[in-house]
Structure 1
């Protein structure tokens, strides 16, 4: 009987992999088409500087999207990541302003994000409140706390060291020009991009190679069957939401570091970008389906689309409309896939 109880979530997980892979290939084809279209529309699209701009814009969306993917696979949703991003970045800025070194301050900011995620998980699993309502409440709480701590004013003059994470790069090559001024030979690989790659690899390893990853898929595929199979469903959900909050905190550090200013009003609507990246990349809002590579493709689709439209002079409002339609289309395709 024990073997029979264990099979449903694992079998369901394996059956859904092929559908998820097909969705990921479709997203990859869409990304390639966008790059081709925008490169023909503007020759500067393929320049090194513009490529770095796309990577930097995608880094924050990608980090949030990874955490969102973990939550969505469990069958949940996290609407608080944008506000948690702002709160974590604000706390980091306040710590730096108080004289704490940058690295410990950023660690404190990530811990604040993880605490918000843990609270979300507790409310959802122990108080039995739906993820939508629980994370909506945290969205308001985190934003309110960030505004209260700062009086709705930005925290500036945080020093050059605070901006290293967001604006620094690896392997940057600078030479002295003929006129005596420094000349950038190679801009290097931005630290946010390296951080995104490390987090993506770690999250993919967790989902595909660790027991907690299989438990996350099993919980989203069939929660009751997973519970009967011995999966600690509540613990699994709390881990997923805690990781989502921690990554939101890390995203807050990256974004505030890029600005070299802690802004309590940052991160508005970022949760929708994170959800869009996950869904476009193949994650199912019904739970049980999703992967990190697909989310990365979805994040780059959003980043490339916004960058290309900006270069074409399309307003931010039109961009929101287009991304909204893309999300609706992605969810519709997901529903068709689930019905089949």
Structure 2
């Protein structure tokens, strides 16, 4: 890929876009602070170290899926299949351990590879078959879920052993002491491995988007695909890469999530694609493409995570939580539409 000339880049990146993105990001941070303050007043346990680690662990799935979704949305696309791909990748990894007796790392790599292949299939449907992203990924959502149910007989895959749960349940710097009663006492829960993984992926993809030619091409396609093509950008190849990345991260999320449960559920990941889209939109990613950041998506994921955690601690039912989060999504998309009109 060749870098865009300065005069061509001006066609895609306007100062106003960066300013609007910063405004949206600060609004998301403000929402995060307000939610934290409100829930800290309603529950004494909200600001504890243990609860902070719980929130971070709960956010990992949304954030990792949201990172891949952000790249796809920036190009002007959408990926509705990530929840189903997550389930398929997780059960493939579990079956590879239980049925094929593969080592856990190899089995999880197989699961991630399945996610990548699903993402590539999505990208080929969009770039080669010229299907609308909504339809292409909707089809993959149904196919991946059906395959996951078929190969497992619609039953959970259990008996995977403790080593399978190490990635999802392990933690760095965990401090455990033996109390006077002789039982172990967790002095510091440590930093969960999924959280570390989330941070590494977020930093890597953010650097890719902001510091590389590939990242500039992704933004260029979302801003004006035809102008990008005329400027020398290989639109189909870059678009295919974003869908492959989204599938890969969905596969990774599936392996991490099944590892946390130490059981592979073919019905896992339902509606996760909406959480991923919501985290991106709340963080400032525009649904029309060309605008979005990984840091904004991470903030959006934590907004959703803190909202759910705080509502749970205050005894709000899961049904009411769905209503509240749905209203938050509608509000943020409406604000995004107002911003684009202006």
Which residue matches 2:323? 321
* Separation (CA, whole Å) in 2 of partners of 1:165 and 1:3: 44
Equivalent residue runs for 1:173-252 within 5 Å: 173-252=175-254
What does 1:282-297 align with in structure 2 at a 5 Å threshold? 282-297=284-299
Shift of 1:182: 1.3
Alpha-carbon spacing, 1:234–1:5, altered in 2? closer, same or farther (3 Å)? farther
The answer as to whether partners of 1:200 and 1:292 remain within 8 angstroms in 2 is yes
Question: How many Å separate the matches in 1 of 2:211 and 2:7?
Answer: 22
CA shift, 1:174, in A, is 1.0
Once the two structures are TM-superposed, the CA of residue 5 in structure 1 deviates from its matched residue by 7.2
Equivalent position of 1:149 in the other structure = 151
Equivalent of residue 267 in structure 1, options 266, 269, 278: 269
How far is 1:185 from its partner? 1.2
Alignment match, 2:25: 24
User: What is the alpha-carbon root mean square deviation over aligned residues?
Assistant: 1.2
- Unaligned 5+ segments in structure 2 are none
Deviation of residue 6 (structure 1)? 2.1
Aligned length: 338
1:48 paired with 2:54, answer: no
Q: Which position in structure 2 is the counterpart of 1:167?
A: 169
Residue 48 of structure 1: CA displacement?
A: 1.7
TM-score, structure 1 length as denominator? 0.97
Could you say what secondary structure the match of 2:187 adopts?
Answer: strand
SS of 1:43's equivalent? coil
The aligned runs of 1:270-281 (5 Å cut-off) are 270-281=272-283
**Residue 61 of structure 1 aligns with which residue?**
62
Partners in 1 of 2:233 and 2:310 — Cα distance?
45
Instruction: Check if 1:255 corresponds to 2:241.
Output: no
Compared CA separation, residues 4 and 49, structure 1 to 2 (3 A): closer
Give the conservation status (yes or no) of the 8 Å contact 2:62–2:279. yes
| Runs of at least 5 residues in structure 1 that lack an aligned partner in the other structure | none
Report how far residue 203 of structure 1 moved. Answer: 0.5
Match of 1:113 in 2: 115
- 1:10 Cα deviation after fit: 3.5
* SS of residue matched to 1:46: coil
Matched with 2:306 is 304
**Map of 1:127 onto structure 2:** 129
C-alpha deviation, 1:138, in angstroms:
0.2
CA apart distance, 1:143: 0.1
* Cα deviation, residue 9, structure 1: 3.9
SS of the equivalent of 1:261 reads coil
Distance in 2 of aligned mates of 1:184 and 1:41: 26
Question: How far apart, CA to CA, are the structure 2 residues paired with 1:250 and 1:146?
Answer: 16
CA distance in 1, matches of 2:132, 2:223: 17
What's the CA shift for 1:267? 0.2
Partner Cα separation in structure 1 for residue 109 and residue 18 of structure 2: 35
Asked whether the equivalents of residues 5 and 229 of structure 1 are also in contact (C-alpha less than 8 Å), the reply is no
CA deviations on 1:101-145 (whole Å, 9 max, x unpaired) are 010111111110010000000000000000000000000000000
Question: For residues 204 and 213 of structure 1, do their structure 2 counterparts lie closer, same or farther at Cα, with a shift above 3 Å needed?
Answer: same
* 117-126 or 314-323, larger mean C-alpha shift: 314-323
